[in-house]
Amino acid sequence: MPEITLFCEDSFHEKFIGALLRRFMDEYHAAVEARFLSSQGGLSQMHGELKFFLRDLERDRQRLPDSVIVVVDANCQGYHGRKDVMDSVLAHYPRFQPLVSYAIPDPHIERWMLVDAKAFQTVFGRGCTLPAMKCAKDEYKKLLRTEIRKSGVEAPLGGEEFAEDIVMAMNLGLVETREPSFGLFLKSLKALFNTWSRR
């Protein structure tokens, strides 16, 4: 069974990407073992933990997975800016580079929750508005809470408690073309599952 290690910036990423993995497992009829390593303490903490993990792999102190997925918000650096930061860690471990792929919501994971208005309507009974790209701190956190509240539902965890519902209702083909950062991750995930489903 293929094994994935996921490095997630926080629990919202873990819930969203975990739901996406479960959906892919169902659709591709491929069993995958996923191990989540969520960082508490932001990007610098995650940067350090990824470095230690790669170092331990290099020294055979960790079991080598079939794939490593790094999940981190772009914030205001953009997809490629954030990827460059994480690649700077990976550059010291060239033999693991083929294993690593990225899920980098641009600018934040909350935007991915709003990208498919029909999925949002399926879950909350009303559609939502995806605004033009913004990168102000906590902007999408506020937008997601507001959109959920307008449906008469409260989200004490900021919406992450509905991540699986949204992911399962999404039109992934539409999302892949509509939201560039999401599309990049979906393409890399499809490549992995196409390989594993042929085994």
**Residue 69: what are its φ and ψ, rounded to 5°?**
-115, 125
pLDDT at residue 81, rounded to an integer: 93
CA-CA distance, 50 to 43, in Å (whole number)?
10
CA-CA distance, 28 to 198, in Å (whole number)?
10
Closest by CA to 171, choosing from 119, 107, 103, 99, is: 119
pLDDT at residue 199, rounded to an integer: 65
pLDDT < 70 positions in the chain: 40-41, 199
pLDDT at residue 120, rounded to an integer: 97
